[in-house]
């Protein structure tokens, strides 16, 4: 009977290790929260506030996606957004968010560190006071569809969207018939000039008759 070579035993052990690794369940990283995880408001719109978090010790900054009504952790902090809002593009830029921030203490109850409104335009107006972390709001995302912007149509070029048919121009009113030409008025001949009457010179005064002697 032949003895099994060490190479044969190593191959069997390797196959067993690989088969065990293939059968082990893979642990996937936690899925980052999205706007679909948020609780809808009274109008059915889901909102998610985006914060910027800074670790003062390491100097590392990262974005924090916090859907409304979903607690999100950042270090030892837990952020819970109640609502957020971003003004329309035609207005001065501004984003506001009402958030509650608690600090998780080992072996104790969470401690409320912040509760109120944050403003993206002025982060220092109402900021979190914490020795290790800085958190401020950046923007607010929603699942509400944006208004469709009009598509500019370039003459002589197809942009993928057919231009709407132009409305037919209303018919022009018929031109009124031309007015009948007036008959020319007869020319009035000028009156003949009246020659002035001859001037009769005055008669000379008769000298007085001489008196009789």
Q: What are phi and psi of 195, to 5 degrees?
A: -70, 140
The H or E element that residue 19 is part of is helix 6-23
Q: Which two tokens stand for residue 6?
A: 């060490």
> Per the domain annotation, does 149 fall within a domain?
no
Half-sphere exposure of residue 213, counting CA atoms within 13 Å on the CB side?
0
Token reading at 99: 């958030």
**How do residues 109-164 score in pLDDT, each as one tens digit?**
899 999 999 999 999 899 999 999 999 999 999 987 754 444 444 444 444 444 44
Q: Is residue 30 part of a domain?
A: no
Residue 192, CB-side half-sphere exposure with 13 Å CA sphere: 3
Determine the structural domain holding residue 137 and report its residue range.
35-142
In a domain, 26, yes or no: no
Kindly list the distances between the CA atom of residue 158 and the CA atoms of 97, 151, 153, 155, in Å, as whole numbers in the listed order: 43, 11, 8, 8
Residue 186 within a domain: no
In a domain, 168, yes or no: no
For 23, 37, 40, 123, 195, the CA distances from 99, given in Å and listed in that order, are 44, 17, 16, 13, 115
Q: Is residue 86 part of a domain?
A: yes
Number of structural domains, the chain?
Answer: 1
Q: Is residue 104 domain-resident? A: yes
Mean of the per-residue pLDDT values of the chain: 75
Integer CA distances (angstroms), 192 to 26, 188, 189, 195, 198, in order: 130, 12, 9, 9, 18
Q: Tell me: the pLDDT tens digits for 157-204?
A: 444 444 444 455 556 666 666 666 565 665 665 565 555 565 565 655
Say if pTM beats, i.e. exceeds, 0.75. no
Mean pLDDT of 35-57: 93
In a domain, 63, yes or no: yes
């Amino acid at each position: 009977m032949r003895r099994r070579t060490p190479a044969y035993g190593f191959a069997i052990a390797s196959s067993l290790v690989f088969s065990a690794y293939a059968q082990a369940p893979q642990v996937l990283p936690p899925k980052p929260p999205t706007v679909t995880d948020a609780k809808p408001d009274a109008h059915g719109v889901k909102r998610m506030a985006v914060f910027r978090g800074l670790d003062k010790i390491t100097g590392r900054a990262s974005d924090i996606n916090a859907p409304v009504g979903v607690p999100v952790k950042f270090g030892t902090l837990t952020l819970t957004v109640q609502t957020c809002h971003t003004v329309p593009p035609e207005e001065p830029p501004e984003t506001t968010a009402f958030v509650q921030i608690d600090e998780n203490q080992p072996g104790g109850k969470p401690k409320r560190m912040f509760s109120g409104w944050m403003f993206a335009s002025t982060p220092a107006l109402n900021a979190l006071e914490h020795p290790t972390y800085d958190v401020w709001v950046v923007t607010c995302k929603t699942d509400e569809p944006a208004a469709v912007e009009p598509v500019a149509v370039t003459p002589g070029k197809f942009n993928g969207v057919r231009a709407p048919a132009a409305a037919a121009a209303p018919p022009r009113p018929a031109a009124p018939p031309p007015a009948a030409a007036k008959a020319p008025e007869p020319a009035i001949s000028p009156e003949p000039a009246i020659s002035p009457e001859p001037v009769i010179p005055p008669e000379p005064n008769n000298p007085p008759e001489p008196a009789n002697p």
